[in-house]
């Protein structure tokens, strides 16, 4: 459940991606289509199926907890599959019968299918560039080669997974070009599973070469790969194979291995990781000029890191330990290293250390300031050294910006950037300039090039067009006061003509976890609602990293209730300030944000009109037992600790549903192949709320049988999901769909 370069694309679906790994094996995409078709044509009744109760009791620290729907956890049980299909069929039948759904679907398909192309994962490669390209109406992103950032006429497709798999279920998890520019190694997975094997392709021909390397990428723990400096092999992350570990540990104990091209993968050389925690997550960074290798290891998803350096001679040295506050190491000038550290500096500072020294002897280069240095994991560099310049991404409580310093920490002229925008994706170009992405709530993202010598910033041809013009949308940034007095930022997008007298409907979303920052970004699903006259608000909650590590820690473990209080205060502020009213207020979130939806709905059922929750977590007492749930213990806590159990039990949505309470209409969405949040979470919560409301309120559960947590979801399914959510929202608001000219 971490923020990453690849995860950013999934943000459009979920707000962010996260979660424990599912117990289930990926559903075969070909069978998934059949399952989905069966579901949509069955259970036409207006009454959702009532799940039977089969009580199971558990004892936690002297308290007995009865779980009526434990049986819904086992996807291999035919009864569970039958109930899920029936519930899905009921849901789809209800959604299909909503007013003007065909018109909504037509508009959504038009916008998402004709949306501008977008580029991400940019990599310079011997005078040219590689990038992943979203190109509607293609279902999956493709890998392309570019001759220039300003001339797309010579763009060439290196690999199109849509041609490999006509079902649209195969996705590129990540790719890495070789230093000589001749080859590219990439991980591919199917059906949203994120369980990726690595393949090697020739860049010039797009043909596969060499051998396949299995079990490199996974759900929550991810995966990584870096080429050796000579382009003859690569270092990669590796999950256990065969009988190396018990089946229960198959998705844990990640280690680093080295593969030489043209040799059997069974003989790959072990490099690092035998002593790592079971829940280790690893990111690799190579310095091609010297052959040095950095390994960043995260202890689960809670934000504790250790770092290791491999010398040119092949010797590994540990640079930092878990819990010491050193977040990110990057290669600096000469043989030095630059370090982002939160040690005694929760908003971050930058240190410079000698390769053969220790971090406690490092020199302070950039001290902590009022703004927060972004600390990232999984590829999106927030600290970069290019020549004699240090580039840093700062978080300003939601918006972010790039700043430039010399090697002594003196502030220099920065690139031109959008006001109250989001800056990310820094890439050092081969000519010494910098490429980065910039966007805002109303302006789609674009790649920019900054020339530090001339001080000029230019927008490149890698820019998205707005499928819906939001130039007339007004953005206000307000602050709600949480239960304990904390000021919580609320970013409010107001469409033209909206009346601020409480009569305008609104959708409010948030996340609040893992130090993830919700930065300004153009989101098509929000644009579709703004087009319909809804106000859309995004809340920067504690648990995120918008104000540094203290802000994150104030919203995790036993402090998690602060996140729900923050969101509640934002909803109350929206109503009290007459942006909307309670009977016109919809809340929506995904993943950890789905937990947010469940908790706030259960704690304050009269505060909103309806709830939409994607791939959420709801049973906090069982989440750590899912295979990847262990990765979340460092963020949520564990039931084995009395204090953490008390906190988990107090807010767990599933365990705090009360019978005969008038809960708002609830729409849950999940993917059968979700490797991050076990779909049983949605099944159990739907069953519990359904029983509590006794058919007095809609409880819908939509299961996509050939997708997962959001990453790799085909365009056709994104269209279907967006249509269903939009139809549900408008119907709950009793708001007619406004057709566009």
> Per the confidence metrics, is the pTM higher than 0.85?
yes
Which of 445, 463, 481 terminates a domain? The answer is 463
User: In this structure, are 450 and 501 located in the same domain?
Assistant: no
490 and 447 fall within a common domain = no
CA 562 to CA 585: how far, in whole Å?
21
The rounded distance, in Å, linking the Cα atoms of 396 and 545 is: 10
Cβ–Cβ < 8 Å for 494, 474: yes
Q: Is residue 117 part of a domain?
A: no
Same domain, yes or no, for 70 and 161?
no
Burial class (CB in 10 A: 0-12, 13-18, 19+), 501: exposed
Which token pair is 613? 């929750």
* Distance of alpha carbon 49 from alpha carbon 68, whole angstroms: 15
Name the residue range of residue 327's domain: 151-463
In a domain, 93, yes or no: yes
Can you tell me the distance from the alpha carbon of 581 to that of 625, in angstroms, rounded to the nearest whole number? 40
pLDDT tens for each residue of 439-492? 999 999 999 999 999 999 999 999 999 999 999 999 999 999 999 999 999 999
pLDDT at 115: 66
CA distance 499 to 533: 10
Contact 215, 241 (CB under 8 A): yes
**Is cis: bond before 526, omega within 30 of 0?**
no
Answer yes or no: do 499 and 419 share one domain. no
Model confidence pLDDT, tens digit, residues 181-222: 999 999 999 988 889 999 999 999 999 999 999 999 998 789
Strand 316-320 and strand 255-260: the pairing is unpaired
Judge if 280 and 317 occupy the same domain. yes
- Domain boundary pick from 423, 438, 463: 463
Q: Say if residue 395 is in the same domain as residue 472.
A: no
The verdict on residue 123 lying in a domain is: no
Does 143 reside within a domain?
A: no
β strands within 203-336, DSSP E: 208-217, 225-227, 233-238, 255-260, 269-272, 280-287, 292-299, 305-310, 316-320, 326-331
Residue 411 sits in the same domain as residue 473: no
> Residue 137: inside a domain, yes or no?
no
List 492's β-bridge partners, or say none.
Answer: 476, 537
**Last residue of a domain, which of 463, 481, 511?**
463
Q: What's residue 628's pLDDT?
A: 73
Is 510 found in the same domain as 389?
no
Residue 477 sits in the same domain as residue 458: no
Residue 130 lies in a domain: no
Alpha helix positions (H), 504-579: 524-531, 549-553, 561-576
Q: How many CB atoms lie within 10 A of CB 317?
A: 12
Domain containing 201 — which CATH number?
A: 2.130.10.120
255 SS3 class: strand
Sorted by sequence, the CB contacts under 8 Å of residue 38 that are 6+ apart come out as 85, 89
pLDDT digits (tens, 9 = 90+) for 50-107: 999 999 999 999 999 999 999 999 999 999 999 999 999 999 999 999 999 999 999 9
Question: Are residues 207 and 247 both part of a single domain?
Answer: yes
Q: Is 738 part of a structural domain of the chain?
A: no
What's phi and psi for 638, nearest 5 deg?
Answer: -135, 150
Mean of pLDDT values over 228-238: 97
Average pLDDT over residues 681-686: 98
Residue 146, in any domain of the structure: no
* Average pLDDT in the chain: 91
pLDDT of residue 206: 96
Binned at pLDDT 50, 70 and 90, residue 28 comes out as very low
Q: Do 241 and 95 share a structural domain?
A: no
* Structural tokens at position 363: 């020199």
Count of domains for the chain: 2
Q: Cα–Cα distances in Å, from 738 out to 232, 456, 528, 728?
A: 58, 43, 11, 15
- Considering the domain architecture, whether residues 685 and 699 belong to the same structural domain is answered as yes
């Amino acid at each position: 459940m971490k923020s990453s370069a690849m995860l950013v694309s999934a943000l459009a679906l979920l707000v962010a991606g996260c979660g424990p790994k599912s117990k289930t094996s990926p559903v075969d995409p070909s069978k998934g289509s059949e399952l989905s078709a069966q579901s949509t044509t069955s259970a036409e009744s207006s009454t959702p199926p009532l799940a039977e109760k089969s009580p199971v009791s558990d004892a936690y620290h002297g308290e007995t907890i009865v779980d009526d729907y434990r049986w819904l956890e086992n996807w291999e049980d035919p009864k569970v599959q039958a109930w899920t299909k029936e519930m899905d069929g009921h849901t789809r039948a209800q959604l299909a019968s909503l007013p003007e759904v065909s018109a909504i679907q037509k508009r959504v398909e038009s916008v998402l299918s004709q949306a501008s192309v977008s580029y991400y994962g940019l990599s310079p490669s011997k005078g040219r560039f590689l990038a992943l390209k979203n190109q509607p109406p293609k279902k999956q992103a493709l890998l392309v080669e570019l001759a220039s950032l300003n001339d797309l006429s010579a763009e060439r497709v290196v690999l199109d997974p849509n041609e490999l798999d006509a079902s649209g279920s195969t996705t590129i998890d990540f790719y890495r070009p070789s230093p000589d520019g001749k080859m590219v190694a990439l991980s591919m997975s199917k059906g949203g599973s994120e369980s990726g094997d690595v393949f090697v392709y020739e860049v010039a021909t797009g043909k596969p070469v060499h051998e396949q390397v299995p079990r490199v990428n996974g759900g929550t723990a991810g995966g990584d790969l870096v080429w050796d400096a000579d382009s003859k092999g690569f270092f990669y992350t590796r999950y256990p194979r065969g009988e190396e570990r018990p089946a229960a540990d198959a998705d844990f104990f990640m280690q680093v291995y080295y593969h030489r091209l043209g040799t059997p993968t069974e003989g790959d050389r072990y490099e690092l990781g035998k002593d790592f925690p079971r829940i280790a997550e690893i990111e690799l960074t190579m310095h091609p000029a010297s052959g040095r290798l950095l390994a960043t290891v995260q202890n689960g998803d809670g934000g504790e890191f250790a770092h290791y350096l491999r010398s040119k001679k092949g010797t590994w040295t540990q640079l930092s330990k878990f819990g010491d506050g050193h977040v990110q190491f990057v290669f600096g000038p000469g043989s030095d290293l630059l370090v982002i550290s939160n040690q005694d500096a929760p908003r971050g500072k930058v240190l410079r250390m000698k390769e053969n020294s220790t971090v406690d002897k490092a020199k302070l280069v950039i001290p902590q300031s009022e703004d927060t240095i972004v600390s990232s994991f999984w590829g999106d560099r927030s600290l970069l050294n290019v020549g004699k310049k240090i580039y840093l991404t700062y978080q300003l409580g939601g918006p972010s910006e790039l700043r430039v310093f010399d090697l002594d920490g003196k502030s220099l002229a920065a690139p031109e950037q959008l006001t109250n925008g989001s800056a990310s994706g820094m890439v050092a170009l081969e000519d010494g300039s910098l490429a980065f992405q910039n966007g805002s709530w109303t302006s789609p993202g674009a790649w920019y090039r900054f020339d530090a010598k001339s001080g000029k910033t230019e927008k490149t041809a890698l820019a998205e067009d707005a499928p819906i013009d939001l130039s007339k949308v007004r953005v206000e940034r307000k602050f709600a006061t949480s239960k304990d007095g904390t000021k919580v930022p609320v970013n409010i997008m107001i469409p033209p003509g909206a009346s601020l007298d409480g009569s305008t409907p609104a959708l409010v979303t948030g996340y609040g976890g893992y130090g993830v920052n919700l930065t300004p970004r153009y989101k098509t699903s929000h644009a579709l609602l703004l087009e319909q006259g809804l106000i859309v608000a995004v809340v920067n909650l504690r648990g995120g990293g918008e104000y540094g590590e203290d802000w994150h820690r104030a919203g995790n473990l036993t402090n998690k209730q602060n996140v729900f209080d923050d969101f509640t205060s934002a909803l109350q502020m929206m109503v009290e300030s007459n942006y909307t009213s309670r009977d016109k207020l919809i809340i929506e979130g995904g993943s950890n944000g789905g937990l947010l939806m469940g908790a706030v709905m259960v704690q304050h059922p009269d505060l909103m009109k309806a709830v939409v929750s994607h791939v959420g977590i709801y049973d906090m007492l069982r989440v750590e037992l899912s295979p990847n749930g262990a990765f979340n213990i460092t963020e949520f806590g564990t039931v084995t600790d009395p204090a953490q159990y008390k906190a988990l039990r107090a807010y767990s949505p599933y365990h705090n549903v009360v019978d005969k309470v008038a809960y708002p209409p609830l729409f849950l969405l999940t993917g059968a192949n979700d490797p991050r949040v076990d779909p049983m979470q949605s099944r159990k919560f739907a069953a519990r709320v359904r029983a509590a409301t006794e058919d007095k309120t809609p409880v819908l559960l939509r299961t996509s049988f050939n997708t997962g947590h959001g990453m790799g979801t085909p365009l056709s399914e994104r269209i279907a999901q967006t249509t269903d959510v939009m139809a549900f929202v408008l119907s709950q608001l009793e708001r007619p769909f406004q057709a566009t000219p």
